[in-house]
Amino acid sequence: MDKYVTFEEYRDMWRITNQAISHVPKDEQYSEYEGIRLPLHTAKVVEDLKTWEVRHDDVWIITYPKSGTIWTQEITSAVMHDGNLDAIRARHVLFRVVYIDKTLPAEIRRLKNVPDSHRLAEEISSPRVLRSHLPGPLLPLQLWEKKPRIIYVMRNFKDVAVSYFYFMKMAINDRATLNQSFGEFLDEMMSGKVPYGTWWEHVLFFWKRRHEKNILFLRYEDLKADLRGNVEKICNFLGKDLSAASLDAITQHCSFTAMKSNPMAHIDLIFDRQGLPEDVTFMRKGEVGDWKLHFTVAQNEVVENHIEEKIRGSGLTIKS
């Protein structure tokens, strides 16, 4: 990325893109692939990924949106840099970890001759750290042949719903989205009419594969309860032998408070905040159980029954 643009230039390209999308009618703000709703320019990338070259030493971070993606990739980036926090503080996370399925529109990329995100990843030396929100069936076919390390993080559906609701207001920032009620958004999320489809299909795909040696299945709630222990778990999974002092430093660096105040570790800067409420930020609260302040009793009952039906027989339990 660095050879094409500075971070400031890249930030401005995304702001232009997000502003343009905010003026597009809501039904035209997305693309679709095999019946799954995706961000506007992602369907073409998914088609390319069918034959895309995966490397056996890649590290993939895969999550449903708003499940701790940025948090996990910051931990992973720090571990893969052998605990060299000065190195990762010097480069924005978007330049360290490639968001493989999200790309700028061609007319914006042409301004600086920036390739698609998956083409950018091809230029990175190994081992690469890549992130994706794509559901399992849309991921590169070679992922299941080359078997690189995959870190999957799940989060309680109800907390995801609240976080996703606020994120969409920031990401789209049009009148319809800003005025949408939580109940309306929840209905869309339950029916899979949000980017990346339904939560339960996304999670169950990886839950069923959690025992495969190249997959580490984590829970957001466990990261919150024992960040140090999960930093060490990620470190061991990645085959890194870091000192206790390094693990302590990574844990401190990746605390919610530290990350929220570190502009190199999150993506608030790529969004135009004009007209947004103060509480609409990328890293908003990072709490477990915030759903209790947003769900009505009736909404909670509907969601509980629906999810119980969808995950029945899978052995998956949900922490709240």
> Would you name the residues annotated as active-site residues?
133
Sign of the Cα torsion 293, 134, 3, 57 reads positive
Q: Are 189 and 303 in contact (CB under 8 A)?
A: no
How many whole angstroms separate alpha carbon 164 and alpha carbon 194?
Answer: 9
Tell me which residue of 225, 224, 223, 221 sits closest to 158, measured CA to CA.
221
Tell me the backbone φ, ψ of residue 178, rounded to 5 degrees: -65, -30
Residue 113, phi-psi category: left (phi > 0), alpha (psi -120 to 50), beta (remainder): left
Give the sign of the dihedral formed by CA 56, CA 151, CA 126, CA 100.
Answer: positive
SS (H, E, C) 211-258: CCCCEEEEEHHHHHHCHHHHHHHHHHHCCCCCCHHHHHHHHHHCCHHH
Structure tokens at 86: 């000065």
Nearest CA to 22 out of 179, 229, 252, 220 is that of 179
**Alpha carbon distance 49, 134 (integer Å):** 11
Please give the Cα distance from 283 to 262 (Å, whole number).
Answer: 11
- Phi-psi bin for 192: left (phi > 0), alpha (psi -120 to 50), beta? left
Full DSSP string of 79-134: HHTTT-HHHHHTS-HHHHSEETT----HHHHTTTTPPPHHHHHHTSPSSPEEEE--
